[in-house]
Amino acid sequence: MSSITRRSYPPCDGSAGPCVGPDGKPAVWPDLVGQNGEKAKAVIEKDNKRVTVVLIKYGKEKGLTDHCCNRVYLWIDEKGNVCQTPMAG
């Protein structure tokens, strides 16, 4: 899974509080839990073109505390499946 590596992404849009998708609904994808990470990434980027999705192996990264409405951290397990509800912020 080459997309798990750190790469640059757009700077934080500076939003605080709950993030909202382009249709005004919360930018959350609970139905993607358990799905393949790469496929989930494609779904999220199609649903909300304003966000950049960053795949991260669960338990490998710590201290990700910045809140940016133009980014989704996609936590994946050892099998490459989404293990936490993806949400913008």
Instruction: Residue 34: give the domain boundaries.
Output: 26-89
Residue 76 in any domain: the answer is yes
Checking if the pLDDT of 5 tops 90, the result is no
Q: 24-82 pLDDT, tens per residue?
A: 766 899 999 999 999 999 999 988 888 889 899 988 766 566 778 888 989 999 999 99
Q: What is the pLDDT of residue 48?
A: 85
Phi/psi-derived region of residue 69, left when phi > 0, alpha when psi is between -120 and 50, beta in every other case: alpha
Q: State pTM to two decimals.
A: 0.77
Residue 13 in any domain: the answer is no
What is the domain-level CATH number for residue 84? 3.30.10.10
- Do residues 30 and 43 touch, judged by C-beta distance below 8 A? no
Checking if the pLDDT of 9 tops 90, the result is no
Residue 61 in any domain: the answer is yes
Q: What is the pLDDT of residue 47?
A: 87
* Total domains, the chain: 1
